């Protein structure tokens, strides 16, 4: 298994970040690398919610496995090439004073044999780039929300990149 983590800090509350992430089917509104997204289940929030997303002509399905309002959203991604056994994305939010630390952790399982571990690592690197795009898009969306007179946020979002691991 390969795990990659990308993080940022945004000057807004975890509740404001959660309001965007919890609109699970609407990821295409803020993630620049998602061409289209829609709900595929009657459950639109909480464990069991399913969305379909299109990225560069590929379609995947994401199913929520963990839903902890204001802190954690985790979903399994299916529809990837069969060489990948599983991929899970986990968003974690943590308050840091008047800011929110946002982490996006991706776990890729392609198997335990050395060639499979290399595949997982390569896929992890590709997905780390996608995670960076999503974090940037989320930050831009939160900044736009803060500047809109119709949306209340506690502070104006800004971002401070922090270390990442791979």
Q: Which domains does the chain have, with CATH numbers?
A: 2-161 (3.30.530.20)
Categorise residue 97: left if φ over 0, alpha if ψ from -120 to 50, beta otherwise.
left
Phi and psi angles of residue 120, each rounded to the nearest 5 degrees, phi first: -60, -40
- The residue-averaged pLDDT of 89-115 equals 95
Q: Residue 43's pLDDT is what?
A: 87
**What's the confidence (pLDDT) of residue 149?**
62
Residue 21, CA distances (Å) to 15, 88, 118 in order: 10, 15, 31
pLDDT at 30 (0 to 100): 97
Percent over 70 (pLDDT), the chain:
89
Residues 66-85 have pLDDT tens digits of 999 999 999 999 999 889 99
The confidence score (pLDDT) of residue 150 equals 61
| Per-residue pLDDT band at 152 (split at 50, 70, 90) | very low
Largest separation between any pair of C-alpha atoms in the chain? 54
User: At which residue do the structure tokens 């986990």 appear?
Assistant: 90
pTM: 0.86
pLDDT tier at 104, thresholds 50, 70, 90: very high
Position 163 pLDDT exceeds 50: no
Query: How far lies 66's CA from each of 41, 49, 56, 69, 127, in Å?
Result: 16, 10, 27, 10, 20
pLDDT for the residue numbered 145: 87
Quick check: 155 pLDDT over 80?
Answer: no
| 62 pLDDT more than 80 | yes
Mean pLDDT in residue range 111-129: 91
pLDDT at 40: 95
26 backbone dihedrals φ, ψ, rounded to 5° = -100, 20
User: ∠ CA(13), CA(17), CA(21), 5° rounding?
Assistant: 160
């Amino acid at each position: 298994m390969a795990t990659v983590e990308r993080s940022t800090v945004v000057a807004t509350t975890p509740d404001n970040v959660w309001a965007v992430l919890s609109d699970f089917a609407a990821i295409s509104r803020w993630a620049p690398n998602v061409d289209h997204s829609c709900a595929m289940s009657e459950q639109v929030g909480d464990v069991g919610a399913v969305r379909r997303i299109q990225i560069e002509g590929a379609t995947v399905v994401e199913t929520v496995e963990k839903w902890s309002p204001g802190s954690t959203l985790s979903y399994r991604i299916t529809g990837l090439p069969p060489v990948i056994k599983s991929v899970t994305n986990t968003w974690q939010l943590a308050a840091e004073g008047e800011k929110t630390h946002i982490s996006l952790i991706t776990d890729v399982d392609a198997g335990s044999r050395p060639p499979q571990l290399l595949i997982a690592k390569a896929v992890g690197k590709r997905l780390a780039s996608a995670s960076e795009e999503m974090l940037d898009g989320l930050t831009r969306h939160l900044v736009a929300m803060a500047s809109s007179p119709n949306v209340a946020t506690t502070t104006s979002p800004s971002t401070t990149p922090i270390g990442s691991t791979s």
